[in-house]
Chains A and B, each alone.
Chain A
Amino acid sequence: MNKDNCINILLVEDSPGDVELTREALSHGNIIHQLDVACDGEEALSFLNKQGKYCNAQTPDLILLDLNMPRKDGLEVLKEIRTHQKLKSIPVIILTTSNSELDIFKCYDNYANAYFVKPVDLNEFFDTVAAIEDFWFNIATLPIIAN
């Protein structure tokens, strides 16, 4: 977390519609945050490793990760984060349309912090994002990762 208490959230999501919905849902909460967006797994890892245009990127306090994405999927991203010496303690929340039990198992096996199936209903989706915000930013204490 920054000294100014601004929470940095990285959203890894390939659907522009879901990005906007998540952005709106997060803005309903009272948490001061900066939302960065990566539209696939490759971009997420470039961002996290501060490569190329992301050389000044802020290491996120929390990652919201979709599973089914082009180029590199969410599970691959999760595995790379969890084996990365510096990044491995960042909370990663899976936010996906996949309801598959196999996906749920694989994500928890690879140390996802929590798994959410994106609700189709708009109000339920807002409730989900609110629960994530409340639990991670009001209740839990996040690890401090050097930028």
Chain B
Amino acid sequence: MRNILLVEDTITDGQFIKQTFSEINKYVNIEIVNNEETAKKYLQSNPSFQNAIMADLIIIDLMNSCLKFIEFIKSDSNLRRIPVIILSSSSDNEYINNCCSLFANAFIIKPKEKERFIEIINAIDNFWFKQTRLSSIPK
């Protein structure tokens, strides 16, 4: 099973992402939380148990800036190994650069068209779960 933590403040988008993943990869389990605080609690829920990797991949899709949250993940010695993908309606270069400077693993501009959104979800699945070696998943 691959576990995605999706930090999503738009209910319909969360449902859409979950539904699309379930159609393309039945081995993906998605946990949706709607804000950073709940996400932090989720990620830290069992820190004493070393093998308890809470997520193989984190996708952040929030309306407001998520720079502080990226910094939180990427400065934590256990959590920083988890790839973080930013989905954002912002195409502001400075914001993209800031996310990448804090070591977000990828920045994706959120599309308005459904077809493009499906294409993106397929590419995330192919790239991160079929091609890349993740630190959490020994082969």
Contacts and interface: CB of A to CB of B under 8 A. Distances in A.
B105 A114 contact: yes
A116 B133 contact: yes
Contacts of A144: 93, 96-97
Contacts of B81: 105, 108-109
B38 interface: no
B127 A134 contact: yes
Interface in A101-136: 101, 104-105, 108-109, 111, 113-117, 127-128, 131-132, 134-136
Contacts of B130: 131
Question: Chain B: interface secondary structure?
Answer: helix
Interface residues of A, number: 31
Interface in A89-107: 89, 91, 99, 101, 104-105
A111 B97 contact: no
Interface residues of B, number: 33
B101 A113 contact: no
Nearest to A89: B100
A131 B126 contact: yes
A141 B101 contact: no
Contact of A143 (B74, B97, B124, B138): B97
B44 interface: no
Interface of A: 82, 88-89, 91, 99, 101, 104-105, 108-109, 111, 113-117, 127-128, 131-132, 134-136, 138-145
5 contacts: A104-B133, A111-B74, A131-B131, A135-B126, A143-B107
Instruction: Please list the 6 inter-chain residue pairs (A to B) with the smallest Cβ-Cβ separation, ordered nearest first.
Output: A89-B100, A135-B127, A143-B100, A108-B81, A111-B103, A131-B131
